[in-house]
Amino acid sequence: MKLAVIGGGSTYTPELVSGLSRERVRLDLRELVLHDIDEERREVVGGLADRMLRRQGFEGRLEITDDLDRAVDGADFVLIQIRVGGQEARLSDETVPLACGCIGQETTGAGGLAKALRTVPIVLGIADRVRERGAEGAWIVDFTNPVGIVTRSLLDHGHRAVGLCNVAIGFQRSFARMLGVETERVEVDQVGLNHLSWVRFVRVDGTDVLPELLEAHGDEIARSVGLARRLIDELGVIPSYYLHYFYTHDRILAEQLVGVPRAATVAEIERDLIQMYSDPNLVEKPALLEQRGGAFYSEAAIGLVASLASDGGESQVVDVRNNGTIEGMADDDVIEVLARVGNGGPAPLPQPRVAPELLGLMQHVSAYERLAAQAAATGDRVTARKALLTHPLIGQHPLSEDLLDRLLEAGADHLPQFHAGIGG
């Protein structure tokens, strides 16, 4: 099997490499390719990956390259983890909306749209090369944010793709610790969209223990997702961390207006990590990586690839087409739910009817995602404005016009589809 990682110079890559040894029985990995366009990061991260693999006794071939065609040639799996524009673009995503009185976040609201507009065309270009040069039936696994919009775009253009986020596996690890049980005994059954999801069932050995979990650990859970315990009790579900941008919008906005952007903190962590990775004596991922975000990403990603490759049939939360899974959502909407994963792809497990207070927000944001994906692929400004107008964190006409102008100006270097006279 050949696995290509596009964005292999990411500081996440050592997480992936550390996960490979855990799945070596199911993964007959003969070739790992790390592709990145940034020479320094490619060589530094690739060097650490090489040391880690040799320590694991990896007998396959590691290749580090900036040649995309070479990377995906014959690849069975292509994992995409890129950040178009780097941390500077992320800082823009988190600060430009603040000037208009809107939440600044890289995957939610106006910042999420900006990221989608510059990311979707690049990912689609990569996917086209996979279609032309990858192995027959090659899978694209997307970890690039905004995952829901990127995955929708890939599927809309006919690619064999699945989206992946680390929120569910993070919950699983936390719940297992709270319950004092082994991680593999805990199953998180959530419903929603990427970065807009709610945990409705937490099963231990197949039995739902969510009520007991909330009773004993509700305060800790509420703090971890930044919401009031009373709200969680009233909803009867556990919202993901990203719901606090919606449920406590004014508080978060006030904090952001006086705080340090997360992008600045992450950029500093990344600089420290790259320096650590360059140490020739380092042969394992450093503890600092846990502060970068994306905890347990490697386990989720490698576990997903292993299930797809081996027809394992394990259940995992992924981003897939709805296709009737959630009543009230369009069939072609991309949802994030528990699915049974085999070599035929993820098969979403049946979902009970979704409560209106959850479904309404899902429908609202999914409509925005549909428009965002269209705008990113076409460069149509009217569609982009409609996307902002549709998003529940924005939703005002003068504001959507001002925001789009600012976002397109700030991201001009990475938005050729909008600055070449397309869309008007």
Q: Which residues contact 106 (CB under 8 A, 6 or more apart)?
A: 90, 93, 94, 112, 115, 145, 262, 263
How many other CB atoms are there within 10 angstroms of residue 225's CB atom? 18
Q: What is the pairing mode between strands 161-163 and 139-142?
A: parallel
DSSP, collapsed to helix, strand or coil, labels residue 87 as helix
Residue 368 designated active-site: no
How far is it, in rounded angstroms, from Cα 49 to Cα 42? Answer: 10
Buried b (16+ CB within 10 A) or exposed e, 63-90: bbbeebeebbbebbbbbbbbbbbebebb
How far is it, in rounded angstroms, from Cα 141 to Cα 164? Answer: 7
Question: Which is catalytic among the residues 242, 245, 297, 368?
Answer: 242
Q: Please report which residue ranges of 210-310 form alpha helices under DSSP H.
A: 210-225, 229-235, 244-247, 249-258, 262-277, 297-310
Residues written for the chain: 424
Tell me which amino acid residue 413 is: D
How far is it, in rounded angstroms, from Cα 261 to Cα 270? Answer: 15
DSSP, collapsed to helix, strand or coil, labels residue 222 as helix
How far is it, in rounded angstroms, from Cα 35 to Cα 42? Answer: 7
* Radius of gyration, CA atoms only, the chain: 21
Please report, to the nearest 10 degrees, the dihedral formed by the alpha carbons of residues 353, 355, 356, 360 taken in order. -80
Contact between residue 52 and residue 17 where contact means Cβ atoms under 8 Å apart? yes
Active site residues: 242
